[in-house]
A and B are shown apart, each in its own frame.
Chain A
Amino acid sequence: MTEENWQAQSEPDSSLMDSLLRQLLRPDVAHSEARIGKLIESIQQESSAQSVLPQTNLHAPRSMRRWFPISVASAVLLAILFVLLPGSSQKAALAAVERSILAERRNEAREYEVTLVTRGAMGWSRVAKHKLYVRNRDFVICATPRLGSGEVWIGGRGNSRWLVPRSGPVWVGEENLFEQPTLKSTIVETPFLSVAVILERMRRGYDLALDSGVSLVDGNATFVCDHIVGTRLLNVRIAIPQRVDLWVDKASGFARRIELKWGNESQETRWLEATSQMVGTPELPADFFDHAGHHAKDRIVENVMR
């Protein structure tokens, strides 16, 4: 038997031993813990989405390292968790949140600037931005994962989901579209979810407080808002935000600004901060929430069925 034949025959065994030796001698516990935390967080988001908005799949697969990490959300994020304790402040805060939930269901399109701060592999912070457009339960995200690399458009209407990458085919499918392995490298991840979903998901873990009639200055405009602050209870899984601030426009009921902060002690999640700031209520083309509104007519469209 020649040396070449010997090596070719033992390739699976060689790979098997490589893997076992690496697991034994260099197991990377921190990476494993972070991965498990992200998995559980994804499951919790997905479970909440299915319980409140059955046609909306909030889970997005983990991003590839060459894109910044984010998972698709269906609408503006509101990480509000509250305990239904007797007390006028809690009830008033709940009423303000519910008003915002109702406003979310209107057919008026809103634009948000989303800023995400995550912890990188070496401990430094990484900042990413994208635009989010919502109209009732329809959503569109516009992101530029790498400077100068072009835009990625991701959206959903009802049960359908679509993805328009910088190049290559357009992908269209159902709620599980973003779980396709080939699409994971282009998925944008955001913790911003619909108000109703976050409310359901966080119902047991936050204490709510309301500060009514707060002025929120945005450029040259000032909005009078209800400011709701959610503080995570100690017995809740620490992968969810430690604190949530929501500013609800008293005139329109829209969430004008949402801030999420995760505690620095948490190593179970990459998230540090996330902010969604309402930019306005733009007039959008009729096909904006369809993929056709974001690519040339002759682009190949791949339909991915379940």
Chain B
Amino acid sequence: MDSLDVFEVLVRENSGMLTAFIRAAVPRDVAVDDIWQETMLTAWRRWDDYDRSRPFGAWLRGIANKNILAWSRKQANEHLWCDGATLEYFSQTFGRIQQLKGDTFQDKLDALRACIRGLPAEYQAAISLRYEEELMPAAMAAKLSLKTETVKKQLARAKTRLLDCINRKLASTATQT
């Protein structure tokens, strides 16, 4: 197996994680794709510098951080909230997610799926409509015969509960390791 074959395997293993990481900080899908490409290409060009004792995902996130900050600096007309401290917070959270059970990042996110199942029914419905069916709050409200503001509050509260739930699972995993 040559270097590129090894690199490709690592890319495939970490692609979903990197996508989610960048998307947490960058509000536009096109920019997410560009930063993803930029990050992976930089990783390839610096392949000889990669310390094999470190997790590849953590190394990628470090490269992505620089690219996200560079992108943010160039968005002169927009107020973007993501700064170095926030990216560091995201990096640590993703590092802890990587400790969860599961072979792939998708498998590790099963912990979040379990959290969703623990939500009240109306919150589960809100999460499904928003993230599986990709409806905006106004469309969700029409479907659920609710006011848009009510739907927005349900989503916000559902996400808060999910964050609490996943943080408990991450803390539980940390104490076991």
Contact = CB atoms under 8 A, between A and B. Distances in A.
Given A13-B160, A24-B109, A184-B34, 16 more contacts: A7-B156, A12-B90, A17-B163, A19-B20, A21-B162, A23-B23, A23-B106, A25-B128, A36-B15, A40-B8, A61-B38, A62-B34, A64-B30, A65-B30, A179-B38, A181-B35
Nearest to B7: A43
Interface residues on B, range: 35 or more
A220 interface: no
B127 A21 contact: yes
User: Interface majority SS on B: helix, strand, loop or mixed?
Assistant: helix
Nearest to B11: A36
Interface in A43-72: 43-44, 47, 59, 61-62, 64-65
B142 to A, nearest CB: 21
Interface of B: 4, 7-8, 11-12, 15-16, 19-21, 23-25, 27, 30, 33-38, 40-41, 44, 67, 70-71, 74, 81-82, 86, 89-90, 93, 97, 105-106, 109, 112-113, 127-128, 130-132, 134, 156, 159-160, 162-163, 166
B34 A18 contact: no
Contacts of B130: 21
Contacts of A17: 159, 162-163
Contacts, number: 118
Interface string A11-33: 11111111111111111000010
Contacts of A13: 159-160, 163
Contact of A61 (B11, B15, B34, B105): B34
A64 B31 CA distance: 9
B41 A43 contact: yes
A47 B4 contact: yes
B116 to A, nearest CB: 8
A16 B15 contact: no
